[in-house]
Amino acid sequence: MTHPQRKSDFNPVAFCEQRRRLSEEFLETNRVLMDLHSQQTQAVIDNDHEFSRFDDLIHLAREKKDQAKYALIAHIEKHHC
């Protein structure tokens, strides 16, 4: 592949900074949600009768994850990146 051919294959949309940021936010909110689920599961394994204390935290984390997901989807649909 010659140098000009590589240059024509370059897609500036693939390097959208806002999409990168939104993707990282979505991944981070997923990580938080999974961590809370893991903690609740461990509480059940440990026979912790207060395992339901995670329910509200999980609910809030799921809402944040959904917000981040829909922000990312909206950005991709609007900017086609």
Structure token pair of residue 48:
């912790």
C-alpha angle 52-53-54 in degrees, rounded to nearest 5? 85
pTM score of the predicted model: 0.78
Work out the burial of residue 61: count CB atoms within 10 Å of its CB; fewer than 13 is exposed, 13-18 middle, 19 or more buried: buried
For 3-53, write each residue's pLDDT tens digit.
Answer: 455 444 545 556 899 999 999 999 999 999 999 999 999 999 999 999 999
